Structure 1
Amino acid sequence: MKRRLFLLFLLVAILLSTASCGQKQPEEKTSVVVAGLRGPTSMGMIQLFEEQSLNNDSYTVEYIAESAPDALTAKIINNEIQIAAVPTNLASVLYSKTEGEVQFLALNTLGVIHIVGSLDITELSDLKGETLHISGKGATPDYAVNYMLQSLGLSDHVELVYYADHASLAQAVIAGDAKAAVLPQPFVTQVTMQSEEIRLLVDLNVEWGKITKGSSGLSMGCLIVNKSFADNNRDFVMDFLTEYEKSVNWVNSNTAKAGILIAKHGILPNSDLAEAAIPLSAIVYESAQDSKVEVENFLQILMDYNPSSIGGKLPDENFYFE
């Protein structure tokens, strides 16, 4: 009797074990971090931030925004961030540093830098003998402005004073300590809203176009992706680009609502500033293949001026996602 009971219990245990093994275990979700910078490069994807887009049974997606590119660089190199919005020249630098493990996904920000202040000038050549204040030494605006000054023969005739960040320079403009300053949006809008004496002095998009004879635009910001992630998760990347483009279109068409979300997620300090800055922030979506020639021309100009600005060499064909 005991033997029969033992055999019965053994049979039940085997059947339960077999049934358990036969059940399909849920697949582990893939974690994705999408990162941007506070300012125009993240303003375009604010709808994704708000809706926490693409979180589903297969992916856990986290959206973050940092204040400066340096805060993203190490995380991108260490594969802690899968998709990021960064300055275009930084994308090229990262492609070189990672030996091709970063790809250009899309162009998302065009020319957003201008000269603002109270100085009586209307074009770049008027700066001869003047002082120009600029933030972010070694960043894209610095390279672009120095290239333009060099092209006009003004490198030795304009004194450059550098500030650590855009916010500090904006305060100097508002205080009247900087009569002419290079600032990007939304800081241009911020300072011109503070005083009637502060105005947009020189549109650097126009100056760049004249100097380059229209061969290049100021391709300031872009989306990048970790190549290994893109290779293994192509459907996700394509879905992300679709949602990103929708968000860009929505932001540009719904500035008031978008401004509220931009402030809510800490991309800009308040909704009024965000709403006013959106139309001036050149927020776009151009796929890697559609923007390839434009970006190559921009990077070539930076390369000719200072090779280190783009990582020492022009990226090859594999840089551009397709």
Structure 2
Amino acid sequence: MIDSQRRRLLQLVAASAALAAFPGLGLAAGNGFQVASPLGLPQVILARALQDERLTALIGERELRAWRDPDQLRAWIAGSEVQLTATPTNVAANLYNRGVPVVLMNVNVWGTLGMLAHSAPLGSLGDLAGHHIGVPWRGDMPDLVLRFLLAREGLEVGRDLRITYQASPFETVQTFLAQRIDAAVLPEPMRTSTRLQAVSLDLAPAELDLQAEWGRLTGTPPALPQAGMICRRELLEAHPEWIRGIQAAVSEAVAWVVANPGEAGYLGAQHSPLPAQVIEGAILRTRLEVRSAAQARAELERFLGALAGLSPGFIGGGLPDDGFYLAENQLDAG
């Protein structure tokens, strides 16, 4: 009896020591495995992935939370309130460059940006000459992608066209629907939602896919490595088998979302205020594909490097070093 109690005591001491070494995991043990995502398609992907029954046996209880903005995410990750999150790739790089111990696991969203315009034709960015464009989040990804592409097209803001910035996509949408701007740059699912609202108002907006424009103007594939998943480094070091299982679940989830946009829209509507029709439309207009961090690195560095050339603060300085990218051999242990 005494040996049994002593053995149990030693096990508790060992467990406490392990949790002290990994503070983020201590919280996970108390409240379940905390996963986060912004609203939109990354949330749909994670919601599907977390339904995988194999993760129940591997990880146990898990919870999906939605973050409102990068500041909230930064607080959650830095304070170990969440151990894994979907995030735009520039936010991931920014966190890493500011000393937050995160590792990029994969990139799975390769293009959500598009443009809606009240006047046709809109066959290329060249057709925007002389127009007034609304763009959300000055200095963020939609703005920098547009400015990069306009420069490639030979258009100069202020000389050839006018840009007005709004504080959020919601404000851009309202400005566009009120016809106070000629065109708007929007990410999915806001682009699909706005198109449907415009149709209900007897407007017929023209659309332009900015991923296609990126491919045309750079001579590279028409895809932008916009979002993926990161985890806290201590989670990877303590439980590589968890990360391996989540990687597999996310790969299967992305394949399911692409193959079943209607069902995926319904699933997404259960986790967000967006209706299923909007989420389904966004899926059909977005390039979804899972590539590991190592596989995506070359394209990600070209993309982030191009945009950081316009605004170095976009990624918090220079391109992240090797420690940012999950190496395949890091999942071999465990």
**Do Structure 1 and Structure 2 share a fold, with TM-score over 0.5?**
yes
Amino acid of the residue matched to residue 300 of structure 1? G
**Structure 1 Cα separation of the partners of residues 281 and 223 of structure 2:** 23
Structure 1 partner of 2:332: none
Structure 1 partner of 2:82: 81
2:156 pairs with 1:154: yes
Structure 2 partner of 1:248: 254
**Structure 1 Cα separation of the partners of residues 292 and 318 of structure 2:** 22
Amino acid of the residue matched to residue 301 of structure 1? A
Distance 1:307 1:19, change over 3 A: closer
Which residues of 2 match residues 260-271 of structure 1 at below 5 A?
A: 260-266=266-272, 268-271=273-276
**Structure 1 Cα separation of the partners of residues 313 and 96 of structure 2:** 13
Structure 1 partner of 2:172: 169
2:232 pairs with 1:229: no
**Structure 1 Cα separation of the partners of residues 139 and 54 of structure 2:** 34
Pick one of 280, 285, 291 that aligns with 1:280: 285
Instruction: Report runs of 4+ in structure 1 exceeding 6 Å deviation.
Output: 24-29
Distance 1:319 1:225, change over 3 A: same
Deviation at 1:49, TM superposition (A): 4.6
Deviation at 1:243, TM superposition (A): 0.8
Amino acid of the residue matched to residue 323 of structure 2? N
**Structure 2 Cα separation of the partners of residues 215 and 201 of structure 1:** 20
Pick one of 213, 236, 244 that aligns with 1:207: 213
State TM-score, norm by structure 2.
Answer: 0.83
| Structure 2 residue matching 1:54: 3-state secondary structure | helix
Distance 1:181 1:52, change over 3 A: farther
Distance 1:103 1:216, change over 3 A: farther
Deviation at 1:289, TM superposition (A): 1.4
What per-residue deviation string (whole Å, max 9, x for no partner) do you get for residues 73-92 of structure 1? 22122232211111111111
Amino acid of the residue matched to residue 187 of structure 2? P
Structure 2 partner of 1:187: 190
2:281 pairs with 1:313: no
Contact 1:192 1:200 in 2 (8 A): no
Contact 2:105 2:293 in 1 (8 A): yes
Pick one of 289, 294, 302 that aligns with 2:299: 294
| Structure 1 residue matching 2:319: 3-state secondary structure | coil
| Structure 1 residue matching 2:219: 3-state secondary structure | coil
What per-residue deviation string (whole Å, max 9, x for no partner) do you get for residues 115-167 of structure 1? 10312342212222321101112221111112222332423332211122112
**Structure 1 Cα separation of the partners of residues 85 and 4 of structure 2:** 44
Amino acid of the residue matched to residue 154 of structure 1? E
Deviation at 1:48, TM superposition (A): 3.0
Distance 1:176 1:53, change over 3 A: farther
Structure 2 partner of 1:105: 105
Structure 1 partner of 2:119: 119
Give the stretch that moved more between structures: 308-317 or 55-64.
Answer: 55-64
| Structure 1 residue matching 2:265: 3-state secondary structure | helix
Percent of aligned pairs sharing the same letter? 26
Contact 1:52 1:63 in 2 (8 A): no
**Structure 1 Cα separation of the partners of residues 4 and 320 of structure 2:** 54
Contact 2:49 2:252 in 1 (8 A): no
State TM-score, norm by structure 1.
Answer: 0.86
Aligned pair count reads 305
| Structure 2 residue matching 1:72: 3-state secondary structure | helix
Contact 2:225 2:303 in 1 (8 A): yes
Gaps of 5+ in 2: 16-25, 328-334
